[in-house]
Amino acid sequence: MCRQVCALWEVPLSDGVYTIEFEHGTTTGKRVIHVNGQEILRRDWMFKLVGRESFYFGEARTKAVICIEAVGGFSYEYSLHVNGLSLQKFTQNRARTTRTWQLRLDERDHRVVLEKDSMDVWCNGQKMDTTGQFVEDGTETVFFIGEHEVCIKAFSEQKKRGVQHCLLLDGLRVQTS
């Protein structure tokens, strides 16, 4: 069965990047939401063609709202709000509060996310067990991916304001892309 997706968004969370698809029947009011290809909400007949649909997704059950607004005739505009923020503002906020690295290790891709406020570390959707310690020039947060030691160093640079983070894999610094 062919789906008619009206809107598509990608939302980065600590446990992964989620693809949200929205179908909207502009004559029946049908509303269907898929997250990573899985249907999570369906309303087949709705008399009101505009409005909001709320749902939760991800490991942390993040709240999202799809807003449906008429822009003239049978034209509609769709926007996504995550944790009360527009997707753009939410993504900008995450860029400030998290740091993400992409690794290729043992012929597998790994996505490592550091939540700067809590110092939680996620790898491929799993919250990692970490060990933190203070060192001469900052802190080190250590965890393992298989047999490989991974270390996230937090330090201050005199030239840059704020705390900087780098990732070491088996003692070697991983370049960010």
- Return the CATH fold of 98-173: Lipocalin (2.40.128)
Domain range 5-83, its CATH number among 2.40.128.180, 3.20.20.80, 3.30.160.100, 3.40.50.300? 2.40.128.180
pTM: 0.86
pLDDT at 57 over 60: yes
pLDDT digits (tens, 9 = 90+) for 81-128: 999 999 999 999 999 999 999 999 999 999 999 999 999 999 999 999
Give the C-alpha separation, 132 to 143, whole Å: 9
pLDDT tens digits, residue range 155-169? Answer: 987 776 788 999 999
> What is the residue type of 43?
R
Residues sharing a CB contact under 8 Å with residue 165, sequence separation 6 or more, in sequence order? 99, 114, 116, 152, 153, 154
